[in-house]
Amino acid sequence: MKKINLFLLMFSFLLISNQCVAQKPSIDNKYKFQKGDYNGIGKWYMGREIAHVMGYQGIGWLERSEREKEENVSNLIQNMKIKQSDTIADIGAGSGYHVFRMAPLANKGLVYAVDIQLEMLMEIENTKQINNVTNVKTILGSEKSVQLPKNSIDKF
């Protein structure tokens, strides 16, 4: 009986001491949870609500006329400092909104448009053909791989 009591005492001590030495959980203050737009998930990052995963049915929203004003895409593209010979990957390219803003700047390079939805890539191929864009290559990625050759891009 004394051995069982001693064992329980030591086991209790280990449990208590484990709580004392355990790593404190880190708190990430960049995310906030609050109600927002019905298109959002209620999780905010740096003041902007994260949207639901975009299906190909949302192509119209991706190509909306007010997107430049809302997101200042021109500033984003300018800050990328794209060179004519750059090879760039747009991972999750969607309808190609960013792809077709980067492609003219990398006119001697290549822009990979990677997406996991074939319908999105078909839209990009259609836009390429209509606008005679030759330096964009569509890549069907997967949830586990972007399907790009190793060390093949300058910017993403």
pLDDT for res 149:
87
Q: Which domains does the chain have, with CATH numbers?
A: 56-156 (3.40.50.150)
Closest CA to 124 of 147, 152, 90, 93: 93
pLDDT for res 105:
97
DSSP three-state, residue 79: helix
Residue count of the chain, please give it.
Answer: 156
* Strand bridging mode 136-140 / 110-115: parallel
Q: What is the mean pLDDT of each run of 10 residues along the chain (156 residues)?
A: 58 53 58 84 86 84 89 94 97 96 97 97 98 98 92 82
Tokens of 82: 């794209």
How far apart, in Å, do the first and last CA atoms of the chain sit?
67
Distance CA 89, CA 102 (A): 10
Residue with tokens 């060179």: 83
pLDDT for res 21:
47
Query: DSSP assignment, residue 16?
Result: H
